[in-house]
């Protein structure tokens, strides 16, 4: 993982976002759109290993804990590890889908909508 600079971790001015962060956010949206488009539950990915934002901002502070320093999700929610976001329901829905349940269309769409809500105005 390439460490972001202090400037990239610093919170941008209101309505602004660092280019690298914006690129990762758009890639995260695309990733979840791909999860929505697939008909194979085992092709749907939700871990930090597959998240462009996590690849930049996830920092393991100890063996068992991590922080999301500078992540636009954490800046919005105040929580690390996508807590209290649609990610939890999407992840749980994908796991149930893998066990034979229905495809979690609403849950994945909620994650997409949430991520899109983080885009700066005019950057859709």
Tokens of 58: 């996830």
60 inside domain: no
Q: Domain span at residue 112?
A: 17-53+84-117
74 inside domain: no
**pLDDT in the model for residue 5:** 61
101 inside domain: yes
63 inside domain: no
Distance from C-alpha of 50 to C-alpha of 8, rounded to nearest angstrom: 21
Q: Which residues pair with 58 in a beta bridge?
A: 68
75 inside domain: no
How far from 78 is each of 58, 64, 69, 74, 81, CA to CA, in Å? Answer: 14, 20, 10, 5, 10
pLDDT tens across 18-34, in order? Answer: 999 999 999 999 999 99
108 inside domain: yes
5 inside domain: no
64 inside domain: no
Q: Count how many domains the chain has.
A: 1
**pLDDT in the model for residue 64:** 87
pLDDT tens across 72-121, in order? Answer: 999 999 999 999 999 999 999 999 999 999 999 999 999 999 999 999 98
pLDDT tens across 42-73, in order? Answer: 999 999 999 999 999 999 998 889 999 999 99
Which runs of E-coded beta strand occur in the chain?
Answer: 58-62, 65-68
């Amino acid at each position: 993982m390439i460490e972001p600079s202090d400037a990239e971790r610093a919170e941008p001015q209101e309505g602004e976002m660092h280019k690298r962060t914006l690129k990762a956010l758009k890639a995260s949206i695309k990733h979840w759109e791909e999860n929505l488009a697939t008909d194979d539950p085992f092709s749907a990915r939700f871990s930090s290993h597959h998240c462009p934002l996590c690849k930049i901002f996830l920092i393991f502070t100890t063996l068992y804990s991590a922080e999301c320093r500078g992540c636009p999700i954490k800046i919005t929610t105040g929580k690390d590890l996508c807590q209290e976001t649609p990610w939890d329901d999407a992840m749980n829905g994908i796991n149930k889908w893998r066990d034979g349940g229905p495809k979690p269309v609403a849950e994945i769409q909620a994650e997409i909508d949430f991520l899109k809500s983080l885009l700066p105005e005019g950057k859709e």
